[in-house]
Chains A and B, each alone.
Chain A
Amino acid sequence: MQLHPRYFGRNLRDNLVSKLMKDVEGTCSGRHGFVVAVTGIENIGKGLIRDGTGFVTFPVKYQCVVFRPFKGEILEAVVTMVNKMGFFAEAGPVQIFVSNHLIPDDMEFQSGDMPNYTTSDGSVKIQKDSEVRLKIIGTRVDATEIFCIGTIKDDFLGVINDPTTV
């Protein structure tokens, strides 16, 4: 955690903690997943002054809540975009794509200004802002990004909540 000298003073520790939270919350590391919230500071080590500048680097140990999706996990997500290739949904910070061959076969794509997937009898509809329960079948972890593929083809998966009716 690097700190500018203007923050030195009485509130050094508080400044450090708030800077930490601002920087770290919302980021994603491939190993741990998304950092959702910092819950506590464990330890702040001695600061090391960088050569040439006045910045000081503090090693900070902290605890936090992380979110990492796993293969096989069931999640609820909110649909963000519907496409004839499938739909995109978000479960918190992670984006999930459900391709159309993992959507039950009785649901057909209907384009329009509100593209959606609908059953033949019109009873179930998946469109933007619908909530769906899906199962993660694959994750792709980059250095700073996690992306998932999901399915709603299995039992107990699919739309939870229709935004039009609610």
Chain B
Amino acid sequence: MIEPYNKLVKLAARAFYDDLTSKGDNQPKTGRSDNRGIAVVVLDALTRRQWVREEDLAKDLKLHTKQLRRTLRFFEEEKIITRDHRRETAKGAKIYSAAVAATADATTGKEGEEKVKLHTHSYCCLDYAQIYDVVRYRLHRMKHKLKDELENKNTIQQYICPNCGKRYTAFDAPRLLSRNGEDFDCESCDGKLDVESDKLAAQEGGDGDGDENARRRRREKLKDMLQKMEVQLKPLIDQLGRVKDLPVPEFGSLQAWEARASAAGRAANGDNAGDSKSHLGYNGAPMPYSGDTKVVVDFNGTEGKGEGVKSETDSTSLKVLPPWMITSGMNLTKEQRGEVKQETKMDGTSTSTAAQYTDEKKSTIGHDDKNIQDEYIKAYYAALLKKQHELEEAAKNPQDANAADDPSSSTSIRKVGDKYKREEDDDGTEWEEAPARGNGIGAYKVDLNVEADAPAEDDEDDIDWEEG
């Protein structure tokens, strides 16, 4: 369905953009750093993706973001791709100290410890409907220009002002006549206008043969060009014909696409399937979506923190929320695959909320779901706090097992933690660190693992959730 369109894009890229460099014009183009053809690579990559974040694309293609951006900007101007710029928390960003966060990019303006940075992320997607039109228009203009030159039709002289660049045609001639009647003056800046020659077949020296020969040579050259163009562009024109009657593949806006992709993913198989579709470009942080995520919750133990997170959630109410949020709203006790992620995401750290927002994009929830989820968050943090306090107490004496046991019976949330622990026994390593920092979730792990050990080991986490 989409294949003919992709083929069209590839043909067009090779036909028209294969000599595009992404170097600035004033930079020297050395042999080593010549990157002609980068445009083709980028377009080809885009045919294999739908909406993709530009950083991810740069990483995949092993290009500099700046170079890629320049190329993408060029394509955006050619109306081949659409771009969308969104502000959202950095995915997988490390947790910086509050000071750094405060001085970083646009923060959300919340007082207190500010752990969340909002970056502007850019996404891009091929715009197939426009590509079809753009390519056709380009071909039309090319043919027209050659034909006009050939038949001397394109003979309305154009003038350009060297000062301000304003363009005029011969039709404006009477307006432009200067006072002395000798030349044309620009209307805005009174500069003398220059003639703009639009002859494709420029006359080489050799006017000596007289007009006839020169004219004949020009005609030959133009005819030649026209013929070569027809021959070389034939595959592209054929592809255009084939694509003409097919419905255009339409991805919609970024939000709509995310919603669809995550919904489809969830429908297919909860989280993991959704991953495959929306994984690309959304997990900027290589956080695994499977249950193996190990997270160390750095909980300062302040209510404010929890609330800070909560209000964060609120402020981003427009954001799509992770799939597990939806399901969790329904049943707190059961943890199927979705719930396992809860703990990882329900961390009090900004990065974990960042991770949460990563997933948020994968699905849209109605507002009522959001409310349920908010309540859940509140309850959860309250419970976490309680648990943490108990844990700290318990950490003084080596009766942690008991201490840990108690909370585990208190609320359904504990049960969640329990099961998670049982599944992830080997995750104990990271949880050991938790008590030292008053990590609430770590408390859960305390049950099964020796928590007296000093937290020495760092796990090979994809994301280091720990607070510095």
> Which residue of chain B is the closest to A154 with respect to CB atoms?
B152
> Which residue of chain A is the closest to B176 with respect to CB atoms?
A85
Measured between alpha carbons, how far is A147 from B156 in the docked complex, in Å?
13
List the one stretch of B20-28, B181-189, B449-457 in contact with chain A. B181-189
A95 touches which of B157, B174, B182 (Cβ 8 Å): B174
> Which residue of chain B is the closest to A137 with respect to CB atoms?
B155
Within 8 A of B (CB), among A59-91: 81, 83-86, 88
Interface string of B153-179 (1 = CB under 8 A from A): 101110100000000001101100100
Measured between alpha carbons, how far is A101 from B207 in the docked complex, in Å?
15
Asked if A149 meets B152 with Cβ closer than 8 Å, knowing A84-B182, A85-B184, the reply is: no
Q: How far is the CB of B49 from chain A (nearest CB, A)?
A: 47
User: Which of B156, B177, B197, B211 has the largest count of A CB atoms less than 10 A from its CB?
Assistant: B156
A83 and B177 within 8 A (CB): yes
Q: How far is the CB of B175 from chain A (nearest CB, A)?
A: 9
A83 and B182 within 8 A (CB): yes
A102 contacts the other chain (Cβ, under 8 Å)? yes
Measured between alpha carbons, how far is A154 from B177 in the docked complex, in Å?
26
B171 and A138 within 8 A (CB): yes
Measured between alpha carbons, how far is A101 from B156 in the docked complex, in Å?
9
Measured between alpha carbons, how far is A88 from B181 in the docked complex, in Å?
11
A99 and B170 within 8 A (CB): yes
Residues of A within 8 A of B155 (CB): 101-102, 137, 151
Measured between alpha carbons, how far is A149 from B207 in the docked complex, in Å?
26
Measured between alpha carbons, how far is A40 from B182 in the docked complex, in Å?
44
Residues of B within 8 A of A105 (CB): 207, 211, 214
> Which residue of chain B is the closest to A106 with respect to CB atoms?
B211
Q: How far is the CB of A106 from chain B (nearest CB, A)?
A: 6
Within 8 A of B (CB), among A6-44: none
Q: How many residues of B contact A (CB 8 A)?
A: 22
A104 contacts the other chain (Cβ, under 8 Å)? yes
A99 and B211 within 8 A (CB): no
Residues of B within 8 A of A111 (CB): 182
Q: How far is the CB of A104 from chain B (nearest CB, A)?
A: 7
Q: How far is the CB of B196 from chain A (nearest CB, A)?
A: 10
> Which residue of chain B is the closest to A97 with respect to CB atoms?
B173
Residues of A within 8 A of B193 (CB): 85
Residues of A within 8 A of B157 (CB): 86, 99-102, 149
Q: How far is the CB of A22 from chain B (nearest CB, A)?
A: 26
User: Which of B153, B171, B173, B195 has the largest count of A CB atoms less than 10 A from its CB?
Assistant: B173
Interface string of B130-168 (1 = CB under 8 A from A): 000000000000000000000011011101000000000
A83 and B171 within 8 A (CB): no
Residues of A within 8 A of B195 (CB): 85, 99-101
B173 touches which of A84, A86, A137 (Cβ 8 Å): A86
Identify 7 residue pairs between A and B in the complex whose beta-carbon atoms are under 8 Å apart, listed by A's number: A83-B181, A101-B157, A101-B195, A102-B157, A105-B214, A115-B182, A149-B171
By a beta-carbon cutoff of 8 Å, the part of chain A in contact with chain B is 81, 83-86, 88, 95, 97, 99-102, 104-106, 111, 115, 137-138, 140, 147, 149, 151, 153-154
- In order of increasing CB-CB distance, the 9 nearest A-B pairs are A99-B157, A140-B171, A97-B173, A149-B170, A99-B170, A105-B211, A138-B156, A101-B157, A85-B184
